[in-house]
A = this chain, B = another copy of it.
């Protein structure tokens, strides 16, 4: 099995706590220096350097030199999707020991996921635009309606025009913390950009968490009609969404 060994090689790179922490941090979507990554991984600079070299060589990371710093970022969207799939499986793994600190709750509330948003905020936004008939999410896949196209255009998003005679499609991504679908693909990325540009959300340095500004709270409520209690964590057993959690 030719691919078996290559698969194992790549996977074993993800299978080390230090490297996994680096990659998780880079899922935030911003490039980081070797030193910063050493810190998030909790190892010395020289150890981190070795890890980073391996990941670059295997095509997981891209390196960019800038002065005496080296910036690292995920090499491609495919790597980001791999990490996403991995986090989803990991999050659903048998409970074991879950520290689940306050830091973790911030991540569950709103975080960046490579080029789009994830967490309760992202799920609430997806629900809201679905409820208003702007978007249909189904089977990990989204379809923008005609009204939805107008709505997002009015919001300032520019989307690549779809194949003639159809509505634009977008990817939907199963949120590992919420087990619910949220917007991804080009629509998700454009939405994230616009929210950043408006100052509704901001990246928190050295973290994947997002801070939601006062303007953001108002804006999400006014423009998207987010319910008052969108930020309340779902109670166990409560079913706020429409999609089943998982395909067969």
- How many interface residues does A have (CB within 8 Å)? 76
Contact B82 A86 (CB under 8 A): yes
Please, which residue of chain B has its CB at the minimum distance from the CB of A13?
B15
Give the CA-CA distance A101 to B1 in the complex, in Å: 9
A171 touches B140 (CB 8 A): yes
A82 closest partner in B (C-beta): B85
Query: Is A226 an interface residue, CB under 8 A from the partner?
Result: no
Q: Does A229 contact B (CB under 8 A)?
A: no
Asked if B17 and A76 sit within 8 Å, CB to CB, the answer is: no
Q: Complex: how many Å from CA A101 to CA B138?
A: 39
A59 touches B94 (CB 8 A): yes
- A131 CB → nearest B CB, Å: 13
CA distance A62 to B234 in the complex (A): 28
Is A81's beta carbon under 8 Å from chain B? yes
Residue in B5, B58, B166 whose CB lies within 8 Å of A143: B166
A79 at the interface (CB under 8 A from B): yes
Q: Which residues does chain B contribute within 8 Å of A189, judged by CB atoms?
A: 248
Which of chain B's residues have a CB closer than 8 A to the CB of A77? Answer: 246-248
A10 touches B78 (CB 8 A): no
Interface positions, chain A 40-64, Cβ under 8 Å from B, are: 40, 57-60
Of all chain B residues, the one with the shortest Cβ separation from A77 is: B247
Residues on the B chain within 8 Å of A60, using CB: 89
Q: Does residue A236 face the partner (Cβ distance < 8 Å to B)?
A: no
Instruction: Bits for A110-142, please: 1 = Cβ < 8 Å to B, else 0.
Output: 000001000000000000000000001011111
Residue interface bits A162-180, CB-to-B below 8 A is 1, else 0: 1100101111001010000
B85 touches A81 (CB 8 A): yes
List 19 interface pairs A-B (beta carbons < 8 Å), by A numbering: A1-B25, A2-B100, A2-B104, A3-B176, A4-B24, A5-B20, A7-B20, A7-B86, A8-B14, A8-B16, A12-B14, A12-B15, A57-B94, A77-B247, A78-B92, A82-B88, A82-B89, A139-B169, A186-B247
Having A6-B91, A82-B82, one finds 10 other A-B pairs with CB under 8 Å, namely A1-B24, A2-B99, A6-B90, A7-B86, A9-B93, A10-B93, A57-B94, A60-B89, A82-B86, A141-B169
Q: State the A residues within 8 Å of B (CB).
A: 1-17, 19-21, 24-25, 40, 57-60, 76-79, 81-94, 96, 98-101, 103-104, 107, 115, 136, 138-143, 162-163, 166, 168-171, 174, 176, 185-186, 189, 246-248
